[in-house]
Amino acid sequence: MAESSAELAWSIEEVGAWIEELGFPMYKACFVSNFVAGKDLPTVNASKLPKLGVTDHKHIGVISKAIRDKFGLLEPDWGRSVADVMWSPQNSLEGCAEGYGQGNTRAPAIDPTPRWQQIQQEQAQQA
């Protein structure tokens, strides 16, 4: 992160003045009354701005981008989902059975049959 030590040392009033310089004098009081100092700015993002009192969607975008640019922060990947699984050997069936999925017809070491079906099969065999 390319933080400027001078900007991290800004007082609450200096942060308010910077918000005014960005063209948002109406939000100076929001930052000052919430005691946002320079050391706090890198943590202020689009999800925190409404809690400070910045509610206009376009203003949130402009202010959060200015903060990211000032401190060299990366833009969040809003398209990423917690459901997205990163590939790793632990997530691959190749780790369960040698050669599975590579022309080898051997089944994986883990039985893919749901447990309820296994119980039904066991009960049918006992009957």
Count of domains forming the chain: 1
User: How many CA within 13 A on the CB side of residue 43?
Assistant: 8
Distances (CA, A) of 126 to 59, 71, 115, 119, 120: 69, 69, 17, 11, 10
CB 31 within 8 A of CB 53: no
Whether 58 is covered by a domain: the verdict is yes
38-67: burial string, b at 16+ Cβ within 10 Å, e else: bebbbebebeebeebebeeeebbeebbebb
Q: Any idea what the CATH number is for the domain that residue 63 is in?
A: 1.10.150.50
**Structural domain of 12:** 5-71
Whether 37 is covered by a domain: the verdict is yes
pTM of the model: 0.59
Q: What is the pLDDT of residues 51-99, one digit of tens each?
A: 999 999 999 999 999 999 998 888 776 676 666 655 555 555 444 444 4
Whether 87 is covered by a domain: the verdict is no
Whether 103 is covered by a domain: the verdict is no
Q: What is the pLDDT of residues 89-120, one digit of tens each?
A: 555 544 444 444 455 555 555 666 677 777 78
